[in-house]
Structures are given as C-alpha cells and as structure tokens.
Structure 1
Amino acid sequence: MKKQIITTADGSKTIHFPEWNESYHSKHGAIQEAQHVYIKSGLDFRLKQDDTSSLKVLEFGFGTGLNAYLSAIYAEANQLYLTYHSIEKYPLNQKEIDSVNYVEILKTNNSEFDSLHSIEWEKSININDYLKLKKIQADFKNFEGQNKYDVIFFDAFGPRVQPELWGKSLLQKCFSLLASNGVWVTYSCKGSVRRDLQDIGFQVKKIDGPPGKREMLRAIKKSV
C-alpha cells in the first residue's frame, strides 16, 4: 500500500495511507496526540493510581515507535521501570523510519530512538536504564500474551478502515491481558467500542481528547 510522509500541525511527521485516508497519527499533531492519549491519559494516569516503581505496558501498534520513545523519555524522567511489549504486523523500513523527526522536535536522545528500531524482534532489550522493550511481530488477533499488563496502548488503525481490530473479541482479549486496576486507552471515542468495553466489564469514561479531537476513551479493569 502506498505511503506518504506528511507534516502534522505541531511540526512532527507521520506516515499517511492515501488509499485509506488514514495516518499513523493525528494531522493536528503527531507528538501532541501521543503525549496526550498514551502518556498523560494512560501511563501517567496509571502511575498516579499507585505508589509503584515499575509498570508493564502492552502496545497494539508499534508503528513509527513514537509511543515507545515517549514512554522511554517519561520512564527516565520519573525513574519508573517499564517493561514495554509492542505488537506490529508490518514493521516500517529504514527509509520510513529515517523520515520522521521526533528527535529533532523533542531535542532528545537520538541513540535511544535508533535503538527502538534497530534491536532484534522477539527479544527484550534495554533502551535506557528504565525501559526494556520487546517488539513482537504478529497479528493483533493472533497474539497470545501471558503477562498481566498495567497499561494497554490501543493504537490500531481506526475503526473506519479496520473495524475487525475493534471487535468485541479483541477487546475481550485486552481485558484478559490486563492486571487488576489496569488501564486501556485509545484515541477513539466510537460508541460501539465504548458499549462493547462496558459489556465486557470495563469501567469506561469519555475524557478530553488531544488537539483536534473532542473526546477519547479510557477504560479501567477494576479489581473485584
């Protein structure tokens, strides 16, 4: 499928799929969206629920590595030990990776971003002193994790273009993969997704979305 490199409103780049009219990140700002949805509303929210020094994160959709990179920066800044597993069926090639400008925009560590993409798949590798990353090349629907995660970043392509990734069976899998009080977070606020999450047993809340989007979803697996 054809891909284009586009510049979003905050100056950061993302990858656009013209055939779907869909991008990895919001046109209103790739970095701003990732920071708001996954770091602030997911990782930081979960950390503030407990006095803990470590968390486990599962990401559906490694993509450009932006969420993982921001998580590595956050983990180091907060001295939080993160075990970070990320699933991706179709990894980007090196030319596509080189086209994004997150290090330049964030003025951060280039070696850490390079490491995210250069480490071997299926192996757990330290990206910095606080984040250990394992990239898993797999179809979301076939992933059978054994871990109980504290946070799930659900960053699949939108329900409009890949509705099968937002079906009840995959959301049920997410519920099973979460530990008690685990947080599931996504940019989407689709009504059918919200209702399915509630039916499965999540406590679901619509919260303020990132720039350009009024609302998003956060769901919590409450302990019984």
Structure 2
Amino acid sequence: MERVLQVTADGSHTLFIPEMNEHYHSVNGAWQESQYIFIGAGLHAVDKPVIHLLEIGFGTGLNALLTWKELEEVLTDKQVVYHSIELYPLSETLVSSLNYGELVWPEQKDRFHELHQAPWNQEVALSDRFILHKIEGDSNRCAFPTNIDLIYMDAFAPEKQPEMWSQPFYEKLYAHAADGAVLVTYCAKGDVRRGMQAAGFQMERLPGPPGKRHILRGRK
C-alpha cells in the first residue's frame, strides 16, 4: 500500500494511506495524541515495577519511542517489556523520512532508528529499562504473550480494519491480560466499549486529546 508523509498540527509527521483513506495518527497532532492516550492514560495507570506491554500495531514506532523516553526520563523506577505486533512493517526509506527522533527526543534521536533496526520476532534489550519484542504477523492469528499488564490498542479504525475490533479479538486480549491489566485506545465508539465490556473489561470514557472528544480505558 502507498503511504504518503504528512505533517500534523503539532509539527510531527503521520502517514496517510490513500487506498484506505486512513492516517496512522491524528492530523490534530500525532505526537500529542500518542503521548496523551498511551503514555498519560495508559503507562502511568499501571503501578508495577516491571510492565509487560502489548501493542496492537507497531506502525511508525511513535508509541514505542514515547514509552522508552518516559522510562528513561520520568518513570525511572520501572522496566517495560514491550511486545508489538505488526503485519506490514515500514520500509527503511519511510522510517528515515519521519521526524520523531529529532522532534520527540532530540537528545537521543538515534533511538528511533534503533527501534526500527531491532530484529523481528526476538527480544532485544535496548536499555536496562526497555526490552523490545517486535512480532511480524497478523494479530488475529499469531500467539500473544501471557500476563499482559498494559495493552495499547492502536489498530486502524473499526471501519477500516473490522477484524481487529471484533468480539473474538476482545476476548483474546482479555484472556491474555493479567489481573489488574489496563487497556487504552483512541477509539471511543459505543459498540467498541460494549464489546470490550462483554469480554470482561471494566470500561470508562475519558476526555480525549485535541480534536477528539473521548478515548477509552479498560481494566481487568
């Protein structure tokens, strides 16, 4: 699929897929959206020294970069084992065009490329606090890690990727989550909230980032 580089409202990049009429991140600000939802409402909501995290959709690697930065600069008493599943990894050319390293973490801008250069399908300790395991495959078919403490549900929108927002998929997430696990997603649709509730998650709507009214957070 063709991917077109675009600049969002906060100066950070996103990618647009004309074939799907879909963006990887909010045009109202890719960086601020990811920081608000996945770091603020997600990572900071888990009170464990070692957090086993599952991300649905590695995508541009922005969520992973923000998580790593937060561990190194703010949550210095925590470690994250970061599992991320992606069916269509980006090319090196596309990765090189994204400005996340320079914009988000200029003091350590090369770490963005370390994320993408890490081998697939094996754990790699990128620092004492951040262990990355990128899984290349279909989230509906590949095995999930067990005892997940935090889920970044960041697949494309339900109308674009309905198979990622189905009842069996919610139940698969719940079955692999540890007691007390947290799930966060940008999608606040009523049928998504009800489906996740039916799977067992206790769901709440939270105020959203700029350009978005609500987001969802669930707990097991």
User: Does TM, scored on the shorter chain, surpass 0.5?
Assistant: yes
Give secondary structure in 2 for the equivalent of 1:104.
helix
Length, aligned pairs only: 217
CA shift at 1:115, angstroms? 1.0
Aligned position for 2:64: 68
Aligned position for 1:35: 35
1:53 to 49, 64, 72: 49
Return the letter of the residue paired with 2:119: E
Aligned position for 2:7: 7
Give secondary structure in 1 for the equivalent of 2:107.
coil
Pairing 1:90-101 to 2, within 5 Å after superposition? 90-101=88-99
Is contact 2:101-2:109 (8 Å) kept? yes
Matched-pair identity in %: 41
CA shift at 1:21, angstroms? 1.7
Is contact 1:208-1:216 (8 Å) kept? yes
The 1-side partners of 2:95 and 2:79 are apart by 26
Is contact 2:26-2:33 (8 Å) kept? yes
Instruction: Tell which deviates more after alignment, 24-33 or 72-81.
Output: 72-81
CA shift at 1:18, angstroms? 1.5
CA shift at 1:111, angstroms? 2.5
Q: Deviations over 1:79-98 (max 9, x none)?
A: 21110000000100001101
Is contact 1:76-1:129 (8 Å) kept? no
CA shift at 1:75, angstroms? 1.2
Q: Deviations over 1:106-153 (max 9, x none)?
A: 223122211101111011111222100000001010122242110000
Return the letter of the residue paired with 2:143: E
Give secondary structure in 1 for the equivalent of 2:80.
strand
Give secondary structure in 1 for the equivalent of 2:216.
strand
CA shift at 1:190, angstroms? 0.9
Pairing 1:9-158 to 2, within 5 Å after superposition? 9-47=9-47, 52-77=48-73, 78-79=75-76, 80-106=78-104, 107-158=106-157
The 2-side partners of 1:214 and 1:112 are apart by 32
Give secondary structure in 2 for the equivalent of 1:141.
coil
The 2-side partners of 1:57 and 1:199 are apart by 22
**CA separation of 1:146/1:7 partners in 2, compared to 1, >3 Å: closer, same or farther?**
closer
CA shift at 1:162, angstroms? 1.1
Is contact 2:101-2:110 (8 Å) kept? no
Return the letter of the residue paired with 1:153: Y
The 1-side partners of 2:166 and 2:146 are apart by 22
> 4+ residue runs of structure 1 moved beyond 3 angstroms?
none
CA shift at 1:103, angstroms? 1.5
Give secondary structure in 2 for the equivalent of 1:170.
helix
TM value normalised by structure 1: 0.94
Structure 1 residues not aligned, in runs of 5+: none
Structure 2 residues not aligned, in runs of 5+: none
The 2-side partners of 1:149 and 1:119 are apart by 22
Is contact 1:112-1:128 (8 Å) kept? no
